[in-house]
Structure 1
Amino acid sequence: MPEKLQVLGSRKGLTPGLQHYTTVTVADNSGAKEAVIIGIYGYKGVLRRIPFANIADLVMVSVRKGTPEVRKQKFRAVIVRQRMPYRRPDGTWISFEDNAVVIINPDGTPKGTEIRGPIAKEAAERWPKVASIATMVI
């Protein structure tokens, strides 16, 4: 029996993990400490429905706390941890202690040089450059 292909743009059947204006911690050493999700790339939804994102999705964040160079700036980021439990294809459920993102450059490389805490296996598979600087992949 052939395996089901996962379409990256499809949201059907996924748990709404993070949504607009969710406060997230920044897991890298780019200078940002706390950010707010202000946009979700690739989301096609219904009028007035609040967009949501999951692990390994690309989002636009606005940095609220951190060094003066990165505060009040907008960056692209990848979600590497989420509190809401989600189901993996093997049937296990996983959730983390916090919601966290890693800030990336427009070419997909991380802005920082190290990542604090674990990152999800789904994020490591989809973003190999982020996985290369991670200390722990779960």
Structure 2
Amino acid sequence: MIQQQTILKVSDNSGAKTVKCIKVLGGYKKKFAKLGNVIVVSIQKLRNKSKSTSKVNKGDVCKALVLRTKKPFNIKDGSNIIFQENSVCLINKQNKLIGTRIIGPLPKILKKGKFNKFTSISSGFI
């Protein structure tokens, strides 16, 4: 579960390395974000090699889609999935990716929502 002030890794090639959650979108007084939710983030660190070619700058505020969380979640067949880190990918105001690829696996839950484009770009599913 992601809440305000949570530091997250960025798992796309937009140029950002870490971000901080500012606000969880999706309802009045919503405190936690789960897999597939959209949050507002501020960029904290950039990747060293891509500072000149980065699509974002340090301190920018943008939206992000939650891809992986440390909190385990249940699947209908009765199994649990737990990831090692909290991770997001950056999106723009039209809910399109800022980067061109997603690094690491995605949960199959994201196939069903309005983010089908993300599943076709990613490397694999869990």
Counterpart selection for 2:82 from 79, 95, 100? 95
| Distance (Å, rounded) in 1 between the aligned partners of 2:86 and 2:12 | 13
Alignment of 1:1-138 (within 5 A): 17-45=1-29, 51-66=31-46, 67=51, 69-126=56-113, 127-138=115-126
Report % sequence identity.
31
Contact 1:76 1:105 survives alignment (8 Å): yes
Q: Which runs of 5+ in 1 are unaligned?
A: 1-16
- Could you say if the C-alpha distance between residues 124 and 37 of structure 1 is closer, same or farther in structure 2, counting changes exceeding 3 Å? farther
Off by >6 Å, runs of 4+ in structure 1: none
Instruction: Return the TM-score normalized by structure 2.
Output: 0.86
Instruction: Return the TM-score normalized by structure 1.
Output: 0.79
- Once the two structures are TM-superposed, the CA of residue 77 in structure 1 deviates from its matched residue by 0.6
Size of the aligned set, in residue pairs, is: 118
Structure ID, larger Rg: 1
